[in-house]
């Protein structure tokens, strides 16, 4: 059953313009951005941010993670192109304000709002060379996908806990839905159907990072329990394995599931 478990356009022309330092103002961001009050000990300042700007994919890494001072080193990639910059990140409750400084001294300002779990932030940004607001998005701590174009992996097991699964056990077909998708903790609500029959259960799912091994503990309303073991396949989207239940402890029965990634 299931598992415990980045929009904008940063076009090539914009990047090219970024190198034309003499053609655009290099005035730093407004004072309200630079001096925005932030929580310097916030744990989000100790974690890596996985960010998207159009087709560009970025990784923002804390420069001094133990200090949580908001200094980040950022790199972006678009096919064979790469970009780098330094960031000053300020967060306060649900708000993020980021000042980006290019190697040539130009600046960008990002503003965003976090979800309730403070794991995903989205908003708009402007640059000295591009004053029109453009969208951006980042997930904090884990690379939570924004669409089916962002695939999970064995090293990104949290995705499996944040998305629903379609599961099959013999002639029974089920849907496992994360109870807390914005703060995935492995708790799923499961529902199955077979002809005119239906069933439901609580699940607690774990996925082992690095190996893709899956463990599921199921509790039915009647008190019956089942334990599932499985392995995520090479496509990172399907799982196969076997399970047994307390009323038939010696019978190992097959099950399979598919991850249902949704656009946010």
Burial of 172 (0-12, 13-18, 19+ CB in 10 A): middle
Cα end-to-end span (Å), the chain:
23
Q: What is the CA radius of gyration of the chain?
A: 22
Looking at CATH, the fold of the domain delimited by 12-140 is given as Lipocalin (2.40.128)
Architecture of domain 159-259: Beta Barrel (2.40)
Domain boundaries, the chain: 12-140, 159-259
Q: Provide the token pair at 6.
A: 């980045």
Q: Closest Cα partner for 188 from 209, 208, 217?
A: 217
Half-sphere exposure of 133 (CA within 13 A, CB side): 7
The gap from C-alpha 215 to its chain's centroid, in whole angstroms, comes to: 21
**DSSP string covering 187-254, please?**
EEEEEEEETTEEEEEEEEEEE-TTT-EEEEEEE-TTS-EEEEEEEE-TTSSEEEEEEEETTEEEEEEE
Task: Quote the strand ranges of the chain, DSSP E.
Answer: 49-53, 56-62, 71-78, 81-92, 95-101, 107-114, 120-127, 130-140, 165-169, 172-178, 187-194, 197-207, 213-219, 225-232, 238-245, 248-259
Output the pLDDT for position 59: 94
Instruction: Give the separation between CA 85 and CA 202, rounded to whole angstroms.
Output: 46
Domain pair 12-140 / 159-259, same fold: yes
DSSP letter (8 states) at residue 264 = -
Q: What is the pLDDT along the chain (264 residues), one digit of tens a residue?
A: 444 443 343 433 343 333 323 333 333 444 344 334 456 678 999 999 999 888 888 999 999 988 889 999 999 998 888 999 999 999 988 899 999 999 999 999 999 998 877 888 889 999 998 888 999 999 888 776 655 445 566 666 778 888 899 999 999 999 999 998 877 888 999 999 999 999 999 999 998 877 889 999 999 999 999 999 999 887 788 999 999 999 988 899 999 999 887 543
């Amino acid at each position: 059953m299931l598992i415990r478990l980045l929009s904008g356009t940063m076009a090539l022309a914009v990047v090219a313009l970024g190198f034309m330092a003499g053609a655009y103002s290099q005035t730093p961001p407004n004072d309200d951005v630079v001096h925005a009050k932030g929580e310097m000990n916030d744990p989000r300042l100790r974690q890596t941010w996985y960010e998207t700007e159009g087709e560009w994919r970025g990784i923002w890494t804390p420069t001094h993670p133990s200090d949580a001072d908001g200094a980040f080193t950022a790199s972006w990639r678009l096919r064979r192109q790469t970009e780098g910059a330094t960031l000053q990140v300020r967060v306060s409750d649900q708000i993020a304000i980021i000042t980006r400084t290019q190697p040539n001294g130009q600046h960008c300002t990002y503003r965003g709002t976090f979800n309730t779990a403070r794991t995903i932030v989205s908003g708009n940004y402007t640059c000295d060379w591009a004053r029109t607001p453009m969208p951006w998005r980042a997930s904090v701590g884990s690379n939570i996908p924004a669409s089916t174009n962002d695939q999970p992996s064995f090293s990104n097991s949290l995705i499996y806990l944040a998305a629903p699964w379609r599961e099959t056990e013999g002639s029974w077909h089920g849907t496992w839905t994360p109870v807390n998708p914005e703060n995935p903790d492995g708790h799923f609500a499961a529902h199955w159907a077979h002809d005119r029959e239906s069933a439901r259960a609580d699940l607690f799912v774990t996925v082992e990072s690095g190996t893709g091994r899956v463990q599921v503990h199921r509790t039915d309303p009647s008190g019956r329990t089942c334990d599932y073991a499985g392995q995520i396949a090479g496509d990172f989207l399907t799982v196969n394995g076997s399970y047994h239940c307390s009323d038939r402890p010696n019978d190992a029965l097959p099950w399979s599931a598919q991850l249902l990634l949704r656009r946010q």
